[in-house]
Amino acid sequence: MIDIKLIRENPELVKENIKKKFKSEKLPLVDKVKKLDEQWRKLKYEEDGLRSERNKISEQINQLMKSKKKAEAEKLIKEAKKIPEKISQSEEKRKGMEVEIKVFLSSIPNLISSRVPSGKDDSQNVVEKVIGKPEKFTFPVLSHAEIAEKLGLADFDSSARVSGNGFYYLEGDLALLNQALIHFAIDKMVSHGFRYVETPLMLNNEIINRVTDLNDQEVMIYRLANEDKSLIGTSEHSLIGRFVDQEIDFKRLPIKHTSYSMCFRKEIGSHSIDEKGLFRTHQFNKVEMIVICDPKDSSKFFEELKNISVEIFKELELPVRILKICSGDLGDLKHEQIDLEVWSPRKKSYFEVGSCSNLTDAQARKLGISTRVKGEKVVPHTLNNTAIATSRALVAILENNQQKDGSVKIPKVLQKYIGGKKVLKGSQ
């Protein structure tokens, strides 16, 4: 949610930002907010005047009573009794306006970074850097699902029967490799100074509504029937949401937290949800990282988070690239975003394994999070990044590390987490 001061002081800047995101349908929101804000401030001014008038009349009444001018005092008392009702009516109208203003502000995109490439949709995202070279195979390349099933380490048919598409059973060493990825990522994050936190997997809907944008809520979030709660789509929701309506002591900044959790996503509009495998599922494991920081430091932390993700996948010895998300593909809460993608030898293309976002003050403002810098109340900046989504990492490992005999090499960095095993082999 953007700062209303931007609309008060520079509405044209906000409109230009909307145009950069190719969302012209949202341009009228700026004028609506500006008009409502002017009406809100007028009402507030009138309320303050009424309160001042009430105080003056009260003082006059006291003076008249002291002077034993009871008749004159009673006239003023009748006049004073009308003021609270006027204030109450004005307050009610003004609070209704506040709700409207917040709804509109929540729909206006955050200001984007000058580093964000211009583009209408994901076809215009820009490759920033490529790291590592894909291996050339001398035998037919199998998909991750084919490999896992041939090794007897995954069962997608049973999961479809008991839960539907978008779920899976992992078994034996592949399930242990999944756990190895989790422990490896947690160790990595702790070594970078992040505090490990275990969070709730369900949140009150109020928190979900304030920590995410409307699009994410529609395509991602599972709402619980007959409960005012939802399942988290990522532990970012819990990690950031815990600070709702809190003033954080500036001395605590930066807050650097990491968490492992199961995540749940509807994935509406994702056609590949019907395909067998681990790439896009309704339930998965993820290690997430978040930062809450001094506004002047968020660009620095954006680079730090991005570099940690690259470091993780370099140590997994997987070919990756960094993709800069263009203006039209950027979520409304985001100031800047990159996706990290891994090479798929099966599809002969890269696929997303995580994303890193700087939301500047938009998310914290929506959540009512604040701090004080030299006594002045300010809104801190928030960032989030995927350390690892294990299902997608498993896809990358199975496909890139497959061998002619059907086995799969286990990355060296994970071997100590899986009893020293070097290869995934067939399971009985």
Which tens digits make up the pLDDT trace of 306-323? 999 999 999 999 999 999
SS (H, E, C) 164-227: CCCCCEECHHHHHHHHHHHHHHHHHHHHCCCEECCCCCEEEHHHHHHHCCHHHHHHCCEECCCC
Confidence of residue 67 (pLDDT cuts 50, 70, 90): confident
Say yes or no to pLDDT of 248 above 60: yes
Contacts of 301-308 with C-beta under 8 Å, sequence gap 24+, read 301/254, 301/358, 301/383, 302/336, 302/356, 302/358, 302/383, 304/192, 305/356, 305/383, 305/384, 305/385, 306/338, 306/340, 306/356, 306/385, 308/188, 308/189, 308/192, 308/385, 308/387
Beta bridge partners of 258: 196, 289
Pick from 180-189, 203-212, 311-320: least confident: 203-212
Beta bridge partners of 111: none
The answer to whether the predicted template modeling score (pTM) of the entire model surpasses 0.85 is yes
DSSP state of 401: T
Q: What is residue 112's three-state secondary structure?
A: coil
Nearest to 110 by CA among 323, 385, 358: 358
Confidence of residue 269 (pLDDT cuts 50, 70, 90): low
Confidence of residue 419 (pLDDT cuts 50, 70, 90): very high
Q: Where are the alpha helices (DSSP H) in 67-192?
A: 70-107, 144-150, 156-162, 172-191
What whole-number percentage of the chain has pLDDT above 90? Answer: 75
Taking residue 277's Cβ as centre, other Cβ atoms within 10 Å add up to 21
Mean pLDDT of 333-348: 96
Please write the tens of the pLDDT for every residue from 70-109: 777 777 787 778 888 888 888 889 899 999 999 999 899 9
Structure tokens that stand for 97 in this block: 């306006």
Say yes or no to pLDDT of 260 above 60: yes
Burial class (CB in 10 A: 0-12, 13-18, 19+), 53: middle
Say yes or no to pLDDT of 130 above 90: yes
| Structural domains of the chain ordered from first start | 4-107 (1.10.287.40), 122-424 (3.30.930.10)
Nearest to 341 by CA among 315, 309, 304: 309
State residue 271's pLDDT score.
55
